[in-house]
């Protein structure tokens, strides 16, 4: 999806690679995330009339409040990179942290097994729908 050339439809959800963005208990983008974030930035630049919501998520370790805050910081980290490194307008990107909700893998797994839960998803909003 990040390689898509044309316009995106409203409600399209883009998933970033699970294993590349964040380490356990961290909101610092890993070096391995940069290539994918550059692709995302290019996609956003190709869709200047769209807005994007960066949704942050965590694994099940920690308290609900801590994870809600961490998920927001993760979403903010992605936005910060896109704005500062890619020159994207900050008004084109919103962020929202969802904490330890909407798990992609079992919340009973180990730190390693829950890496898919430590993620961001990007939702596209267009005027078409």
pLDDT digit string, tens, across residues 76-128: 999 999 999 999 999 999 999 999 999 999 999 999 999 888 889 999 998 76
Q: What is the pLDDT at residue 100?
A: 94
Q: What is the pLDDT at residue 9?
A: 72
Whole-structure pTM value:
0.86
Helix H or strand E segment including 37 = helix 34-45
Neighbours of 22 (CB within 10 A): 27
DSSP string, 56-97: E---SSS-HHHHHHHHHHHHHHHHHHHHHHH---GGGEEEEE
């Amino acid at each position: 999806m990040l390689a898509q050339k044309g316009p995106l439809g409203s409600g399209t959800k883009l998933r970033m690679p699970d294993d590349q963005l964040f380490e356990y208990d961290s909101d610092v983008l890993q070096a391995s995330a940069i290539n994918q974030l550059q692709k995302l930035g290019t996609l956003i630049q190709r869709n200047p009339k769209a807005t994007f919501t960066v949704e942050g998520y965590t694994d099940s370790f920690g308290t609900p409040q801590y994870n809600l805050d961490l998920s927001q910081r993760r979403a903010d980290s992605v936005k910060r990179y896109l704005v500062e490194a890619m020159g994207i307008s900050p008004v084109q990107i919103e962020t929202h942290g969802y904490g330890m909700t909407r798990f992609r893998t079992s919340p009973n797994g180990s730190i390693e097994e829950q890496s898919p839960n430590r993620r961001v998803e990007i939702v596209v909003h267009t005027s078409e729908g």
